[in-house]
Chains A and B, each alone.
Chain A
């Protein structure tokens, strides 16, 4: 009760003091605002990058293994691996026949080509050759039409499925289904359009054109280097499945025992681990920058509070004479410092939230309640920490001397 009363009294005094010195308080608040804007933006950016990355990586599928020629994030000398043999389509067929712990095998390969229709054209479009199961394995969905069928793949039909952005570009005013689009001079009938995907670090499929792999080998690359996607039967036993796949690959490659693998089997965990490492150092850097800017803001607060205490020496004397204890005076000035910082924190949050609204959607930078709570907590803490010394000086003043001061 008494504490709450003193708290309220402290708030009233703090508000009056801030209003009495608007310019000075404003300048000090600015320092805190900068600190809090940094905290929130850094926090939201890191969080946003994290979620987008996880979502994008999640599209790889938790139960899918990728057999590739060059696995990412593996520090190996380039000259040691550059002569590796391609991963061929034959491996995919062999894998399908031999492996027992997998339920689906999908080869996937790509090239870049220009795409034309009427007087529109786009160059450098990724043309992906794959089989019908790709869509099942990756949980892709179409917004219009359907994916190509197994008979279209087996028969090498000239059909295609467009990524969302490509479809938008070529079919702004008409329905794409049943229309033809020209890839490297060959006409493909559009049978479907993909739903828009997550665009993160270019990992989305919105700018891709999917065609049956049989078309790809017939028209573009006869013997392509492919990535083989393998969906395991039992997610719990993904390690076993991975070992089986590895064994089969070694046999197909004819690797003698003791020789290292000349291919990689990757899984989304590899990416997630990599990201948590990078994310960790990113967070440390952000913490440092934030800490620095808050430190500068804190020094400002300390300074203004020392001035405020000195200016109000007589007031402190009066309050002490009529019964304010040390604790009361200490609390009063701490509240004042915290209030200044809290105002700075709120302004900072407002600025940061409008900035995040302006940032590209794909960054997913949103102010989460957690970040808001942290920002407000940090601003109050800054006030309390940097206000402590001045408040302590005020609390310890001798009332006789304080009353005499002019």
Chain B
């Protein structure tokens, strides 16, 4: 069974009198453990796709199955639960709560999952150590560098062990060296078995993925294995 199964997904936006078709019938499967880059020029539907995959939004038509459940028919509360359990988001602009410490930011998904205080504190600490921030737990976002903030976001995304980690231009706000470090962290997470989907328009970033899906005008224009990534990943490990 595929982890993600999209069939004939469309998504259109009503803009006054006219309708914008952001996705015009996308069909694809993603398996557990894959590392996928979603590429395409601006306006091709990447963000729309990302919102659907992240269960932040529902399609206008078509079916979306995630881990065996039919997401396309879910209501608001069910979607919130799915997001909490199955999805870990990493955003371009980090989207951390500015007034909360790194630790509390990472704990938050567990609060909403109803995990008891002690347990969730331990899980959050472990997750922060995992991304190399064991010594920054009580810092607020504005006391951290961009790369560190993105690591907090990654720790938050992974803390409740989601089925997918979804990253939207995760290096877009970082300098190239820090961006590269974050991508190496992604590689490592992938090796440990996490399913990762990265939305990007940079070939350098997409290079890390094992599969590249290219969108154009709301349709899948290409979907291929990324042979180039293999030797590099080998070299790192």
Contacts and interface: CB of A to CB of B under 8 A. Distances in A.
Interface in B33-88: 51, 54, 56-57, 76-77, 80-81, 83-85
Most central of A20, A322, A399 by chain B CB within 10 Å: A322
A400 B91 CA distance: 12
Contact of B109 (A16, A322, A326, A399): A322
B95 interface: yes
Contacts of B100: 16
Interface residues on B, range: 20 to 34
A2 B115 CA distance: 8
B99 A325 contact: no
Contact of B97 (A2, A5, A318): A318
Interface string B98-110: 0110000000110
A254 interface: no
B80 A5 contact: no
A175 interface: no
Contacts of A398: 57
Contacts of A325: 76-77, 80-81, 112
Contacts of A317: 95
A5 B117 contact: yes
B114 A5 contact: yes
Contacts of B112: 6, 319, 322-325, 328
Interface in A296-354: 314-315, 317-328
Most central of A20, A321, A326, A400 by chain B CB within 10 Å: A321
Contacts, number: 65
Contact of A321 (B77, B95, B99): B95
B117 A322 contact: no
Nearest to B117: A5
Nearest to A19: B99
Interface string A120-145: 00000000000000000000000000
A96 interface: no
A328 B80 CA distance: 11
Contacts of B84: 322-323
B212 to A, nearest CB: 25
Contacts of B113: 323
A321 B97 CA distance: 12
B95 A403 contact: yes
Interface string A5-18: 11001000000100
A398 B76 CA distance: 9
A23 interface: no
B111 interface: yes
Contacts of B56: 320-321, 399-400, 403
Contacts of A5: 111, 114, 117
Nearest to B100: A16
B89 interface: yes
Interface residues of A, number: 25
B114 A1 contact: yes
Nearest to B96: A318
B116 interface: yes
Contacts of A9: 111
Contacts of A324: 80, 112
Contacts of A2: 114
B83 A315 contact: no
Contacts of B99: 16, 20
A254 to B, nearest CB: 88
B156 interface: yes
B83 A323 contact: yes
Interface in B92-140: 95-97, 99-100, 108-109, 111-114, 116-117
A324 to B, nearest CB: 5
B77 A400 contact: no
Nearest to B80: A325
B117 A319 contact: no
Contacts of A322: 83-84, 89, 108-109, 112, 156
7 contacts: A2-B114, A315-B97, A322-B84, A322-B112, A323-B113, A325-B77, A326-B76
Smallest CB-CB A-B distances: 5 pairs: A323-B84, A2-B114, A323-B112, A325-B80, A322-B109
Interface of B: 51, 54, 56-57, 76-77, 80-81, 83-85, 89, 91, 95-97, 99-100, 108-109, 111-114, 116-117, 156
